[in-house]
């Protein structure tokens, strides 16, 4: 029951945040997670994002607050945090939406 009261539509939030998936959207995502490089293609953005371990809920909260989300040193540390906090992005939705997949890590 508590889950329903506190439920966030994280899929909708990310889709609204990300936009149409144009290069500008990808570059903004890179900046928002704290990557400072020059990324001239979506492919470059995707490759750079593979090196970042952030929780998607934390990312969206950080963007709203004008700060960079906390980073984790490894995918394992991110998985542990994600499971402890219950801030898990729904796997089913991730398969449908390309951009969010760049941030997803195996946690189970």
CA distances from residue 6 to 29, 42, 61, 86, 100 in whole angstroms, order as listed: 26, 34, 15, 11, 22
Of residues 14 and 107, more confidence is placed in 14
Residue 38 inside a domain? The answer is yes
Residue 1 inside a domain? The answer is no
Q: pLDDT by residue (tens digit) across 34-67?
A: 999 999 999 999 999 999 999 999 999 999 999 9
Q: What is the pLDDT of residue 104?
A: 75
Residue 54 inside a domain? The answer is yes
Distance CA 51, CA 30 (A): 11
Residue 106 inside a domain? The answer is no
Domain count, the chain: 1
Question: Domain containing 36: what range?
Answer: 9-101
Residue 61 inside a domain? The answer is yes
Q: What is the pLDDT of residue 81?
A: 96
Q: pLDDT by residue (tens digit) across 77-97?
A: 999 999 999 998 887 776 665
Q: Which of 62, 64, 58 shows the shortest CA–CA distance to 86?
A: 58
Residue 3 inside a domain? The answer is no
Q: What is the pLDDT of residue 11?
A: 87
- Residue 22's pLDDT band (cuts 50, 70, 90): very high
């Amino acid at each position: 029951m508590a889950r329903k009261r506190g439920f966030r539509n994280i899929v909708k939030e990310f889709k609204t945040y990300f936009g149409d998936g144009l290069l500008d959207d990808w570059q903004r995502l890179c900046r928002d997670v704290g990557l400072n490089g020059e990324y001239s293609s979506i492919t470059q953005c995707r490759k750079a994002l593979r090196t970042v371990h952030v929780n998607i809920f934390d990312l969206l909260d950080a963007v709203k607050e004008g700060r960079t989300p906390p980073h984790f040193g490894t995918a394992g540390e991110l998985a542990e945090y994600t499971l402890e906090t219950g801030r898990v992005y729904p796997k089913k939705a991730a398969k449908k939406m390309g951009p969010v997949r760049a941030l997803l890590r195996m946690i189970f």
